[in-house]
Every structure is written in structure tokens, then in C-alpha cells.
């Protein structure tokens, strides 16, 4: 599936029970390469999928948040009922997110990488952020994650700094993206 051909068929949707098997197929791809998809998965508990879908809806509304969490929306990037990526938009920043996680997390399905889906997911998340009234969005990535840095830069990210935090052994790059909110 190439982005250029299918961009018009692609959209962000909220997690849904109807795509449970598709979601777990994507998770399996990540596990097969020895990786986790926490950045884009949001609050979806792999052990209790059905309840997690309901919880994700509550978290997007700022309800029943675990301590230290902020309201956040989880989305899947789909094309013809195939999940090609997953992403998360935090509606505000706390101290942890300001240092390490930023407003967004996204992960392209391993079999769908290098096709522009990361760039598309972030662009669509920026539109969602504008709709929430976020004027300045923080995006972060590991210092050695050149692909993610390019995705952020393609979406208007301006490099701010590199920080070493207590949350990661790696250096974290931080970028700010100015959003136009109808002004």
C-alpha cells in the first residue's frame, strides 16, 4: 500500500471493536520485531481490549485518568479497514510530557513503514490539535530516531533542544510546531 495512491482513502478513526483482529495483527508485527508500540497505543490494554476501548473514550474526555495522566485521544490511521498506524494526542502537557513525551506519539505498522504514514499521521494529529485549541505543539523523539525527526520537521517542527531526562537513557530531541488556530 503506497501513500500516494491511497492518501484519499486514509483517515484517523477512534479505536473500535470492529477492528480488534486487525489491531492485534498490527501488535503482532511489533512484537515479532521485538518492539512495543506504547507511543501510539494510548491507554489500550492488550489484555482487556473491549474495556480499553471504552476507557480510551473516557480518557479523551478527561474522565477516569490515572494519576499523572492528562486527557488524550487515541486514533488509528486506516485505509480500507487496515490499520496502518496508531497515534495518540495529549491535550495538554504536564511536567513529564514537557520533558519527554510531548503532545503526540505515533507508530507506523512495521509492514507499512517508509511509505509516508508517519508524516501523514502527524499532519492529521496537528489538525486534531488545532481543533482542541492547542496553539503550540511539542513533538519529541529519541535523538537517534532520524526517521521520526524527519517526520516532525516535515510537519513544521522547529528544533528546540536535546535533553537527557530521568525517564530515558537516551537523549530526547524536542521540537515545537506552531499551529494556526483561525487567527
> What's the rounded Cα separation, in Å, for the pair 9 and 117?
12
Q: What is the mean pLDDT of residues 112-141?
A: 96
Q: What is the mean pLDDT of residues 152-168?
A: 92
Per-residue pLDDT at 21: 94
- Name 86's bridge partners: 76, 107
φ and ψ at residue 146, rounded to 5 degrees: -65, -40
Q: CATH assignment of 3-134, given 1.10.8.80, 3.40.630.30, 3.40.47.10, 1.20.140.10? A: 3.40.630.30
- C-beta of residue 100 within 8 angstroms of C-beta of residue 172: yes
H or E stretch including 9?
Answer: none
Which pTM value belongs to this model? Answer: 0.89
Specify the pLDDT at position 5.
Answer: 46
d(CA 118, CA 62): 26
Residue boundaries of the structural domains of the chain: 3-134
Among 102, 95, 87, 96, which residue's Cα sits nearest to residue 137?
102
pLDDT in tens, 53-85: 999 999 999 999 999 999 999 999 999 889 999
CA angle centred on 40, ends 21 and 120, rounded to 5°: 95
Give the pLDDT of residue 128: 97
Amino acid at each position: 500500500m503506497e501513500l500516494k495512491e491511497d492518501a484519499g482513502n486514509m483517515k484517523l478513526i477512534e479505536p473500535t471493536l470492529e477492528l480488534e483482529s486487525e489491531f492485534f495483527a498490527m501488535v503482532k508485527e511489533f512484537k515479532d520485531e521485538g518492539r512495543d508500540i506504547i507511543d501510539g497505543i494510548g491507554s489500550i490494554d492488550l489484555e482487556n481490549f473491549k474495556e480499553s476501548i471504552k476507557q480510551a473514550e473516557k480518557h479523551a474526555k478527561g474522565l477516569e485518568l490515572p494519576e499523572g495522566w492528562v486527557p488524550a485521544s487515541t486514533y488509528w490511521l486506516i485505509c480500507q479497514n487496515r490499520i496502518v498506524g496508531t497515534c495518540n494526542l495529549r491535550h495538554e502537557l504536564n511536567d513529564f510530557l514537557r520533558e519527554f513525551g510531548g503532545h503526540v506519539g505515533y507508530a507506523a505498522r512495521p509492514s507499512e513503514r517508509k511509505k509516508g504514514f508517519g508524516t501523514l499521521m502527524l499532519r492529521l494529529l496537528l489538525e486534531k490539535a488545532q481543533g482542541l485549541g492547542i496553539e503550540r505543539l511539542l513533538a519529541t523523539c529519541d535523538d537517534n530516531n532520524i526517521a521520526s525527526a524527519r517526520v516532525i520537521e516535515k510537519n513544521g517542527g522547529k528544533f528546540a533542544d536535546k535533553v537527557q531526562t530521568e525517564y530515558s537513557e537516551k537523549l530526547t530531541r524536542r521540537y515545537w510546531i506552531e499551529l494556526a488556530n483561525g487567527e
